[in-house]
């Protein structure tokens, strides 16, 4: 459903959102916590900074923190940086243009499900999923 990169980003943001506000977490600590290759996560975090989702601090005691309240951060803001999802590219058959007026054969049947997916990513926020305590035998705080 999502690219590996988008999954990594979501995991990192969820982990950051669980930290106390104002505290920073280093890329290394985050990489360990969410089980993503250190250097690769560095790039992903940097993209999130450029998108205004995270803030970064360099130097000693540096690291990353959320740039906003997690209740103001729908999943689509993160996912759309890495994957095409939602309005664009919903055509199941890969047509560039696929709409009610110029539909592919699947369009009519697929439409409702596609809209539910769009709504999920658009309306679910990071805060919404923090409540899920991710209990028990997890190897990390994903």
Among 35, 52, 62, 113, binds DNA (CB under 7 A): 62
Q: Decide whether 57 or 115 has the Cβ nearer to DNA.
A: 57
Which residue's CB is nearer to DNA, number 26 or number 118? 26
What's the min distance (Å) between Cβ of 140 and a second copy? 10
DSSP secondary structure letters along 27-40? HHHHHHHHT--HHH
Q: Tell me, what DSSP letter sits at residue 71?
A: G
Residue 48, CA distances (Å) to 43, 66, 93, 135, 137 in order = 9, 10, 31, 27, 29
Distance CA 121, CA 132 (A): 17
Say whether residue 52 binds DNA (CB under 7 A).
no
51 binds DNA (CB under 7 A): no
Output the six-digit token pair for 100. 């009610």
List residues binding DNA (CB under 7 A). 3-5, 8, 26-28, 36-40, 42-43, 45-46, 49, 56-64, 82
């Amino acid at each position: 459903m999502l690219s590996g990169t988008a999954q990594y980003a979501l995991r990192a943001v969820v982990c950051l959102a669980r930290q106390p506000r104002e505290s920073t977490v280093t890329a290394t600590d985050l990489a360990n916590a969410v089980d993503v290759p250190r250097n690769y996560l560095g790039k992903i975090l940097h993209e999130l900074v450029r998108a205004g989702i995270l803030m970064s601090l360099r130097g000693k005691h540096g690291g990353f923190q959320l740039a906003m309240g997690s209740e103001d951060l729908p999943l689509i803001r993160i996912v759309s940086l890495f994957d095409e999802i939602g309005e664009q590219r919903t055509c199941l058959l890969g047509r560039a243009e696929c709409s009610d007026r110029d539909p592919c054969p699947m369009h009519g049947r697929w439409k409702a499900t596609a809209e539910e997916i769009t709504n999920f990513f658009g309306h679910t926020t990071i805060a919404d999923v923090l409540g899920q305590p991710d209990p028990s035998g997890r190897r990390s705080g994903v």
